[in-house]
Amino acid sequence: MNPFWIFLFAGVSLLAVEMLVFQFTTFWLFFIGIGALIAAAFAWLMGDASFLITTLVFLVASAIVTAVLYAPLRRWQKQPSGISGNNAVGQRVTVTSKVTRESPGVVVWSGSDWQAELAEGQYAEIEAGESARIVSVEGIRLRVAGG
């Protein structure tokens, strides 16, 4: 099988999983998917490129894409939410995965699962099944307080 088709399928699949399943929260599959698409383009342009050479292009391209895009994407992800009309603050949520100081949990708000961290100054863990209040929205994470 031609390396072009293998890397094209891998790249499209990885990008689809990153966007549809992880909703662009991890980026790793995004970086590897872009590397695979670059390798597919290389294989298509070279025509007779071997699988080994195309794989090396994939590895180098993935490393370069990661090095160039990781920091800007993390800054973008951590930016406070600027959504106009955001009505999340003050709303009640149901905790589905325990929220602690050491690790974020998961809450359900507006029919969707959201990653949640304890709000500034909150130290008491919030157990699964309990209710919490949204204190702020930071990027794609909710800051919550118990009670």
Tally of CB atoms within 10 A around 111: 5
Question: Which of 40-49, 73-82, 121-130 is least confident?
Answer: 73-82
pLDDT of residue 138: 78
pLDDT digit string, tens, across residues 34-67: 999 999 999 999 988 899 999 999 999 999 999 9
Check pLDDT > 70 for residue 88. Answer: yes
Query: Confidence band (pLDDT; 50, 70, 90) for 74?
Result: confident
Task: Tell me the whole-structure pTM to 2 decimals.
Answer: 0.56
CA 146 to chain centre: 26
The DSSP bridge pattern shows strands 141-146 and 112-118 to be: parallel
**AA identity, residue 124:** A
Q: What mean pLDDT comes out for the span 68-86?
A: 72
Q: Nearest 5 degrees, angle CA 110-CA 112-CA 116?
A: 95
The two tokens of residue 110 are 């507006």
Q: Which domains does the chain have, with CATH numbers?
A: 3-78 (no CATH), 92-146 (2.40.50.140)
The partner residues of 51 in beta bridges, in order of sequence, read: none
> Which contiguous run of DSSP H or E holds residue 141?
strand 141-146
**AA identity, residue 54:** T
Dihedrals phi, psi of 121, to nearest 5 degrees:
85, -5
